[in-house]
A and B are shown apart, each in its own frame.
Chain A
Amino acid sequence: MKRFETDAQPAGRRKIGIAEYAVVTDETLLVTSGLGSCLGIILYDPRNTVSGLIHVMLPTVDQARDSTPAKFVDTGIPLLVDEMEAAGADRSAMEARIVGGSEMIQFSSNGDSIGSRNIALAEQLLEEYGIPIVGSDVGGGHGRSIQFDPAAGELSIRTADEETRTL
């Protein structure tokens, strides 16, 4: 019997889950939802039309038992930059947008919230890479869903109130 198998997905829209990422070189919309304390990081090289989105969950891989790179800010950003470059992007042409990192729930355990640590580390790493953050919608106490449109170079952010803003 013939096997219908391929790695290709029809173009259009790509949904990215937690601890997942995608890099595209066409006009495929990149979407991810349910950003609470998690952070959505979008890298975009308009010159070479390469776009990437990663949905990270925690700041650092240190002390974690699971080392999926796309799960953490400190391993996720290098991964995304590498994959973007492999797809033809130029680091010096990349721009970043970050969304999420909210503090939805006050946990009793002390220390900064996951959200604020995610934001701080992402900002620091992107600066180290020399990638400017051209838009950010972070913090607060609400969730966000995002969609990046490579054709327009635009990121739209939706909250539960159906409010939409564009970065």
Chain B
Amino acid sequence: MKVDIRELGQFNHLASQGAERAARSLSQLTGVQMDVEVTDVSLVTENVLAETFTGKSFVGVELGLEGGLEGETVLAFERERALMLQDLLLEATGSSDELAQSSVTELGNIMIGGFIDGWANHLGEAINMTPPKYTEAVGPRILPDQAIEAAKTHGVFLFESKLEAMDVDLDFSIYMLPEYRQFVELLSGNEGNQIPVNRLSAFEDLAKEGAGNAAGQIGMMTGLDTDVDVSRLRFVPLKGVPRQVGDERFVGVVFELKGLPSGYLVVLFDEESAQTVASSMMPGDSSEEGIGTMTEGAIKELGNIMTSGFIDGWANVLGTSIEHTPPNFVHDMGSSIMSPVVGKLGKQQEYAFVIDSTIEIDGRQGRCDIYALPNERELARALSALPAQG
């Protein structure tokens, strides 16, 4: 099965619209302004599903689809967040628990509805929804069995929309999983840049390995324990990338990748982690006030080594050669650091495959985020050129 990148972009756009509609309804219902930060889609394996869902309680809305598209689609959000939403709804409407719960169901309905309407237009065929069913569960069990089965064998497509509230602390994600088989069929256009689905997951494994190498290198240079927390290959509208990184202040390095694929790699530490890492790399008890030349030197050196480790496997597996430029040191708002990167890519593409890996340092004391943004078409070309595999 092959995936057409343009189709993937189209579906991401439809999912974003669904999320926007859901956000508007929420604003209306609660009186709290909600915005969609970003909507991304990734092909995830069983492991990533587990990382994403395990240990959290969810409420979900399940819908059956009939017509142009068939199968179970599920929408889930964290229970704790859903309860906060319900409280806001109760406050705003003075209504009963029952009504608040049905409002959450209704919200799911609007969100999926937005997606399905767009979908039906796109297909030129009617799609009917069965009435939504409200569910609650802990961990991945919130998902339909067939989604978990599919994740085991070939992966499932997971849409994630991050919503944020303007004046209250109520950021949350809405997850949506369309039924796999039909969705892949829809994604297989017959022109443009196509990537075989299994290569996409092979590349995701490669990225995960790269994150492991980079974590190992932080460990070696600092003597601190490190561990890859999450690593995902997301398909995101480029303009959503800076928002995904956020306005917090980061210390890090930006590299340009040259070869096939070309692209950009960004390594970011929060300020405290940058200082911890830098002082661990120095002999004795060296440390400095704030982020100065010592931290800059250390982060550049570490970033260089991490980047080599991160992309090391790519060239081997893809059978190409990839080089990276010397590090560009950055210390600024995360979103503005990403702005020139998406600007550079934005001439050529509207969406990006973003490898987003988080490394935990010294338990949960510190963290480092790696974002790799390969040129979309070059990545598709390199992956498609790979010999067939089992």
Which A residues form the contact surface with B (CB < 8 A)?
1-10, 12-13, 15, 17-20, 33-38, 57-58, 63-66, 68, 71, 102-109, 113-115, 142-145, 159-160
Contact = CB atoms under 8 A, between A and B. Distances in A.
A34 B336 contact: yes
Top 8 closest pairs, chain A to chain B, by CB: A143-B336, A34-B335, A36-B339, A36-B336, A18-B239, A66-B350, A37-B340, A143-B333
A45 to B, nearest CB: 25
Interface string B55-76: 0000000000000000000000
Contacts, number: 145
Q: Which of B29, B243, B247, B346 has the most CB of A within 10 A?
A: B346
Nearest to B35: A15
A33 B29 CA distance: 27
Contact of A58 (B32, B256, B334, B347): B347
B25 A19 contact: no
B358 to A, nearest CB: 20
B249 interface: yes
B106 interface: yes
Instruction: Tell me which of A18, A115, A144, A145 has the highest count of chain B C-beta atoms within 10 A of its own C-beta.
Output: A18
Given A34-B336, A66-B350, A105 B31 contact: no
Given A36-B336, A65-B350, A5 B27 contact: no
A108 B325 contact: yes
Given A6-B28, A66-B350, A104-B339, A34 B247 contact: yes
Given A105-B328, A108-B325, A57 B336 contact: no
A58 B341 CA distance: 11
Contact of B343 (A13, A57, A160): A57
B50 interface: no
B79 interface: no
Given A33-B247, A36-B337, A57 B27 contact: no
Contact of A4 (B28, B328, B337): B28
B163 interface: no
A108 B333 CA distance: 22
B122 interface: no
Given A13-B33, A13-B166, A104-B339, A57 B328 contact: no
A64 B346 contact: yes
Contacts of A145: 247, 333, 336
B332 A104 contact: yes
Q: Which of B167, B249, B256, B335 has the most CB of A within 10 A?
A: B335
Nearest to B331: A160
B30 to A, nearest CB: 9
A98 B274 CA distance: 33
A109 B348 CA distance: 15
B330 interface: yes
Most buried by A among B21, B167, B342: B342
B254 interface: yes
Contact of B24 (A6, A17, A20, A108): A6
Contact of A57 (B102, B239, B332): B239
A107 B33 contact: no
B343 A58 contact: yes
A5 B328 contact: no
B24 A143 contact: no
A68 to B, nearest CB: 8
Nearest to A114: B343
Contacts of A66: 346, 349-350
Given A5-B110, A17-B239, A66-B350, A105 B28 contact: no
A140 to B, nearest CB: 11
Contacts of B325: 108
Contacts of A17: 239-240, 243
17 contacts: A3-B110, A4-B110, A9-B24, A9-B33, A13-B166, A13-B167, A34-B334, A36-B242, A57-B343, A64-B347, A71-B239, A107-B340, A108-B256, A113-B340, A115-B340, A143-B337, A159-B333
Nearest to A33: B247
A34 B242 CA distance: 7
Contacts of A4: 25, 28-29, 103, 106, 110
Nearest to B348: A65
Contact of B254 (A58, A105, A109): A105
Nearest to B340: A37
B295 interface: no
A58 B344 CA distance: 9
Nearest to A106: B328
Given A33-B247, A34-B335, A105 B27 contact: no
